[in-house]
Chain A
Amino acid sequence: MRRIGSLASAVMLVALACTSGAPTSGEKPASGDKPVPGGRLVLGSTGDPKTMQPVIATDTTSSAVYAKFYLGLLRRDQKGNIVGELADKYELSKDGLTLVYTLRDNLVWSDGTAFTGDDYKYTAEAVMRSKKTVRKSTFDNVVGAADYKDGKTDGIAGITISGGGKVITIKFNKVYCPAIEDLSGAGAGVILPSVPFKAVWDNKTTDATKNIDDNALNMNPPASMGPWIFKEFKPGDRVTFTKNPKYYRGAILLDELVIKNYADSTAIKNALLTGEVTYAVVQPKDFDEVSKVETLKGLEYPSYSWDYIAWNAESAKAPWLANKQVRQALVYGLNRQAILDKILFGHGKLVNASQPPANAAYNDSDLNKYAFDVNKAKQLLEQAGAKLGADGVYRWTNGAPMKMRIETNQGNNTRETILQFAQEQYKAIGVSIDPLLESFNALLDRVKCCGTDNEGFIIGFSGLGPDPDHKDLWHSSTVAPDQFNRWRYRNAVVDKALDAGRDGPDCSEAARNAQAHIVDKQLNEDVPMVFLYSPNSLVFADRTLQNFAPNQYSTFYNIETWWFKK
């Protein structure tokens, strides 16, 4: 829950929308060349931003846009380390109950207003009073946040500003290990300019019905702390930015940024081929074709996402999904390597648990790799009590044929193909699959917890950041309506490790990664889902763009050095 408001998520969302990352194809800065100022950067994207105001944003396109002009206190550098953005110091007390950020000197918004802790507090309070935000849980442990939400106070008591606006102190009721990064974006991921926004919503009011949700500034950002200043939004077409001369790291070399909206990934690919966009993400199927274009350079790096076939352990029609051996059989019975090679064209890595390869907590050295083995799959089914029927389909212990539905979202060619592939392969191990395609939103609605009328579904997670906290996915407390544990996974060992990773007492990175691995080990054995693969991010850019070297942590960590070589 809390993860959504974090810088980690914001960074990752931007990464996914615009495609970020560290190059495996290894472009090095063009040393010896003198950077030339000027030029226009054009990014290919799909869809308009729903909003340019982070408090109410729920989509990656929006976050990719507002991250150009609103920043958080911290960020990830090119090596994945948490470093200061607008804050140059941060400290979590030993008891884990007090967090202090100290801002850099002389921070100024593009409109000349000073950036202070008041901007941070204003944003946090905007989150707490918003009716349309999905980010309030970031402040669950912050003193006074709930009272402010209910209009009992005119400010969040646990957030205080001192030192002439430079020191932000946050008090917690309870230890929260991801606090340093999660709270660095004031719950919204990035920080709003309080002075202009106060004209549309006063954070000092105790009228809890008033909020920041609907106002003209949401689509017309009034000031920037980032490298770019919002210039113009043409619906269905583009968002244009100019460079911010007051950017705290110094004005960038490029003059203009355009995020160009295309109908789909094929249109983006065509725009890359014709040179209409400077850089964009391509689909695995297009990688080879675009690679042949001499004017483009390709970059490939791991992502914080993975795709899976999840099983509903409480399915009425497929009670066998509650059995661990059956689930293991369903992993052995699927040739995941073939899926990776033939459907993803090798642009990814197989995963066997929750932490994606891009994450520092990833460690698959002692995990079962579940190499494709039809006989092993059948053997496990029989050990679980299934008996092979005359029609080649196993019968479960209650005599019912092992027939079940797997559904996925229509229009996603990769998932549709995986579904066809799984149908064929599971037939070979005596499990009959009834495939179903439906719209993405209809799919989410059908498989949400806690109905029993669904069995399996293919989908993907792209909301995982560099933080190892995956409590929302696997903790038994999240087996609840509208929560993420749609597979109804419950395990006491996993719960304990997830709680320790989030609530401490040891919040060190090593300790949290160790807890994350305990979770991964158990998941790898219990396989509540078939972990398929973590796809790589595939980015192509104009060869003349210098120092463009994104990685999974960030695309824009060195934006001030980008320039076009003529």
Chain B
Amino acid sequence: MGRFVIRRLIQAVPTLLGILVITFALTRLSPADPVSLIVGDTFGITKADRDRLAEAYGLNDPIPVQFVKYLGKVAVLDFGNSFYYHRPVIGLIVERIPNSLQLSIAALVVGLLVGVPLGIISALVRGRLPDHAIRLMTVVGHAVPTFWFGLLFVLLLGVQLRWFPIGSMNAIGKEDDLGDRLWHMVGPVLTLSLGAISNYPRILRTEVLEVLGQDYVRTARSKGLREQVVVTVHVLRNALIPVVTSLGGILTILIGGSVIIEQIYNWPGLGRLLFEGLINKDFPLIQASVIIGSSLLVLSYILRDILYAIVDPRITTR
């Protein structure tokens, strides 16, 4: 297993290097002048001002020189200063990660806690009313765009009915109140986990039905094991493999998905930072976000492979 993980990590290096080259080239190919991006439409900028800024941000060097310097800095996690915020990009990202992780992890947990049981129930009561209800729910859940669901949640349950907050992580003055934090998480977490809640039952229902028909399940039952043990020990462990597959890349999906969700719910996370970076054409921030996002994607695939081995030991021996 150790060698396997090391091999995968080494394989990731050229991938990440390619991403570095592409993101750097794309941002430099953009027609916008970085100094214009830095100063916006500030009244009364002189040419001397602009020259000074270009020098200060290292924009006067030839592009290859800029890239080599950039590589050297990225190697020590120095992604440069944000054009927009005038601060180190890595600091901006690090201070937002905990906020996004709160949403991502909560959404992952809610998705699994709700989605997995629904999938099992749906399979076990196949053809009966609860099965139909769950299947209908998953179809509707799939059909509804998450941004629309989020907007509806804010406008209806937040602005109109005032049942839930309209956004943010806390009410002002309640920064240390865990209950208030959880209350503020209801909307974004529900919205973010909508996909998982709709997807897992569909996947699991099919898998559980297939596994239920296997000989070893019949054997387990014939041994006189309780149905609960048969389902949790023999059925679920095998049926979960597709769910684990779908978890591959979940880190980036959750971050990518939260770009919209964080914007709708005014959640000060990484997704919203990336969105602002894109709007402001903040190249260093965009580059760092893409590189870190890509690294997370590679990491999540490695984690997925490890999980495979845990769920199905045969996979390690192949």
Contacts and interface: CB of A to CB of B under 8 A. Distances in A.
A270 B40 contact: no
A262 B86 CA distance: 20
Nearest to A219: B87
Q: Find the residue from A42, A442, A446 having the highest chain B CB count within 10 A.
A: A442
A171 interface: no
Contacts of B183: none
A299 interface: no
Contacts of B216: none
A258 B263 CA distance: 20
Contacts of A234: 268
B227 interface: no
A445 B32 contact: yes
B95 A235 contact: yes
B42 A484 contact: no
A4 B43 contact: yes
Contacts of B85: 48, 50-51
Given A238-B172, A263-B266, A132 B42 contact: no
B159 A270 contact: yes
Interface stretch (A133-141, A362-370, A390-398): A133-141
Nearest to B88: A214
A47 B276 CA distance: 8
A51 B92 CA distance: 13
Interface stretch (A193-201, A245-253, A271-279): A271-279
A448 B268 CA distance: 34
Nearest to A237: B268
A93 interface: no
Interface string A133-160: 1101100000000000000000000000
Given A42-B172, A134-B39, A262-B266, A236 B44 contact: no
B49 A134 contact: yes
A267 B44 contact: no
A440 B279 CA distance: 9
Nearest to A133: B49
Interface string A443-468: 01110100000000001010110000
A483 B168 CA distance: 40
A114 B27 CA distance: 48
Interface string B101-117: 00000000000000000
Interface in B246-277: 263-264, 266, 268-269, 272-273, 276
B166 A237 contact: no
A131 interface: yes
B208 interface: no
Q: Place the interface of chain B in its size category.
A: 35 or more
A260 interface: yes
A448 B95 CA distance: 36
Interface in B152-187: 154-155, 158-159, 162, 166-169, 172-173
Contacts of B31: 442, 445-446
Contacts of A547: none
Contacts of B276: 47
Contacts of A258: 172
B50 interface: yes
A213 B166 CA distance: 37
B238 interface: no
A50 B38 CA distance: 11
A481 B47 contact: yes
A464 B44 CA distance: 11
A288 interface: no
A271 B172 CA distance: 12
B38 A58 contact: yes
B86 A59 contact: no
Contacts of B162: 274
Interface stretch (B4-12, B52-60, B65-73): B52-60
Contacts of A276: 166, 168, 172
B1 interface: no
Given A58-B39, A274-B162, A276-B166, A137 B56 contact: no
Interface in B263-318: 263-264, 266, 268-269, 272-273, 276, 279-281
B273 to A, nearest CB: 7
Given A237-B268, A441-B280, 9 more contacts: A56-B86, A134-B42, A236-B99, A236-B272, A238-B172, A258-B172, A263-B266, A276-B172, A442-B31
Interface of A: 1-4, 9, 40, 42, 47-48, 50-51, 56, 58-59, 131-134, 136-137, 213-214, 218-219, 234-238, 258, 260-263, 267, 270-271, 273-274, 276, 411, 439-442, 444-446, 448, 459, 461, 463-464, 472, 480-484
11 contacts: A42-B172, A48-B85, A50-B85, A51-B86, A134-B39, A234-B268, A236-B273, A237-B168, A441-B280, A444-B41, A482-B46
